[in-house]
Structure 1
Amino acid sequence: MSDPQDIQGIYRIFYQGGALAGKRTNYPLTVEAPNNPEYEDWIVENLHEHGHVIRQRTSYEMGLTHPHNVFPGCPVLLNDSVMPVRFEPAGQPNHFIIHPGIDTPGHEDLAMATAPAVDDAPKVSWQPNDHASVWRFEKIE
């Protein structure tokens, strides 16, 4: 899945480590939708040659959410709107470091979208001042 052409699809997405590790935020990080499991499904689509967008399968709204401690393997809420991103393979199958999409000023990476106050977070990327995190993608379709 490291080839961008192979990334498109429908996924469950889980936080694996990086900038959010051990932090508690005021932002929702788990989607609770017991009557509609598709609220947990995310569509990854090509944006242009430099990136992708991630959006919720059912709608652009997140449904019922609540904040909780972030830990490796937890399911995640990405954002409440379409988010341009760029994927970087993270050394294991289906694991990616996710960065802001190229040519998308004003869009933060997923870690900062969910925890913008984390300034001293451990880095998982070679890029300076990058608060990226690693995410695991389980392909549904």
Structure 2
Amino acid sequence: MSSVLILNGPNLNLLGTRQPEVYGAVTMADIESLCSAHGQSLGLTVSFQQSNHEGALIDAVHAAKSVHSAIILNAGAYTHSSVALMDAISSVELPVVEVHLSNIHAREAFRHKSYIAPVAIGQICGFGARSYTLALDAVAGHLGLAQ
């Protein structure tokens, strides 16, 4: 069974209470439950990590190389600022799908630039918690597990 790391960045631990008008009422626990079930239906084992610290996210990307087949990454605000995270993704040579709950392209101009997109196989944004299950579908397809 292929393994996928779902890696979440800063402030995502506050889902459900942080700006529900933007991010919805779903919690990180809700997303993890949804993704575990969906991943299993696709033949994927799903692991989760979240950190508010850039270095911890980079360490998680590095560690994923020897454990996981792919990464689904919601880097939060680091999407728009972290060259270091972009370099980490490039260095591990794992397929990465960039995910966002909100449509970053319909928000403030500074959110339109992603340092993750150039090193990801794709970006899914704007579908709330469903962005994660869509990313799992994309990973399964990329790994040849789904039609």
Same fold by TM (over 0.5)? no
Question: Quick one: higher RCO (CA 8 Å, sep 6+), 1 or 2?
Answer: 1
Decide which structure has greater helix share: 2
User: Normalising by the residue count of structure 1, what TM-score does the alignment of the two structures yield?
Assistant: 0.31
Q: TM-score, normalised by structure 2?
A: 0.31
Structure whose residues are more often strand by fraction: 1
